Amino acid sequence: MKRRFRRAAPPCARRPLPPPFEAVAEKCAYGGDAIARAPDGRVAFISGALPGERVAAEPYLDKKSFVKCRAARILEPSPDRTHTPASGVPGCVYGDFSYEAEIAAKKSQLEDFLAKAARAAGAEIAVPVAVHPSPSPLRYRNKTVLHAGFAPDGSRALGYMIEPSHRVFDLPACPLALPQIADAMPEVRRKVFADFRPGGNVTVRFTPHDGTVWWTSRGAPPAQPLVETVCGAEFEVAADGFWQVNPATGAALVRAVADRCLETPSAPLVDLYCGAGSFGIVCAREAALKTGRAPALTGLEISARAVECARRNAARNGISARFEAGPVAALLERAGVRPESTVVADPPRGGFEPGVARALAECGARRIMCVSCDPATLARDLAPLLENYSVGSAEMFDMFPRTARFETFLVLERRARPISCARRL
């Protein structure tokens, strides 16, 4: 049979990019780009610009409702512009900001996301956002993941990816990593470059108990769990398992959650997305120290490996608890949440799994504490909760200085009457 070949379609003609233009940058959007207006009235997102600066914007992505640009030249710099060791490092979108300006930008972003969630639910969030800066905006990370590849000039490199080129920004020492990790980097780099394999990763992690450990993606992480300490409690954590990367700010966040739980120390506690158990175990331990008796603690988690770790950590800290692994929405529905219960929910960056927000909104707990490292998914998940709960307090913890991300802690109190009921009256 004669084979038929389909004629290749001609390539689509690309619309030419708009010409460069001058603009005055307004506030920073989540992610670090400044917001401005293009000459045709569309929103322009400008990387490398600070609020208040007049810049020469060079478009690189043209969409129907917005255009993305680079700040080709700073024509009138902001007084908040400064040079730090993080300047120019991939991912450090606030590397040229004063730390005060970075904190102000992140606070404004969280306020915008909370307002968006409130509008979606037809509710109101009237509480101010309390801000907790990191004790240090540099040298705070206890873990870093570096990529092996080639720099723009073709030389071998170990550092962070330069998107979208997939080249690597060579980084002899990450300005965000703890000094102990920086001290280990000469040996790490020597061994990686001695058997260089582009495309792989190197993970370097430090704990005061274990010192600095590292491994490559071609090998396995250490089998022996690492030991972390927070608020006086010790936790076993798998070397490649989750732990907050900023120990000082992480401890402040756990302390804030525990302090709110101590307002009702005997209330049953449900730790949603419990991981290694840090929030629930610390809260139960603090209540036991205060009253002589720990509250009933239930931990729910997707990962079976994390649940095994949480069980060992509860025993290690003398806490009796029940931990279960599986789909969190189903686990929550059969967890037996009581009207007097407190729920602590700390989902991964992607937010709640489908069905979890609705199950949480209808669980009937007196208080829900939401911890989130992504305000966008928090706003999405918060909208259904606001039908039955009101925001009693909102706090921003700068867990990741110089980067776009931050941690949010919200305390939700059960409404006497759901919004839907109030609307029907």
| Band of pLDDT at residue 420, cut at 50, 70 and 90 | low
Alpha-carbon separation of residue 219 from 10, 168, 214, 241, 296 (angstroms): 46, 21, 10, 16, 40
Position 6 scores a pLDDT of 53
Beta-bridge partners for 211: 207
Domains plus CATH for the chain?
21-81 (2.40.50.140), 100-137+246-424 (3.40.50.150), 143-216 (no CATH)
pLDDT tens track for 85-139: 999 999 999 999 999 999 999 999 999 999 999 999 999 898 999 999 999 999 9
Give the three-state DSSP class for 192.
helix
The tens digit of pLDDT for each residue in 316-330 reads 999 999 999 999 999
For every residue of 259-286, which 3-state class applies, written as one string? HHHCCCCCCCEEEECCCCCHHHHHHHHH
CB 383 within 8 A of CB 376: no
Mean of the per-residue pLDDT values for the chain?
93
pLDDT for position 184 = 97
Least confident window among 75-79, 160-164, 307-311, 341-345: 160-164
- Write out pLDDT tens, residues 354-413: 999 999 999 999 999 999 999 999 999 999 999 999 999 999 999 999 999 999 999 999
Rounded CA separation 53/371 (Å): 34
Reported as a pLDDT band with limits 50, 70 and 90, residue 15 is: confident
pLDDT digits (tens, 9 = 90+) for 30-56: 999 999 999 999 999 999 999 999 999
- Among the ranges given (237-241, 331-335, 361-365), the one the predictor scored with the smallest mean pLDDT: 331-335
Q: Strands 21-24 and 54-62, how do they pair? A: antiparallel
Do 411 and 66 touch, CB atoms closer than 8 A?
no
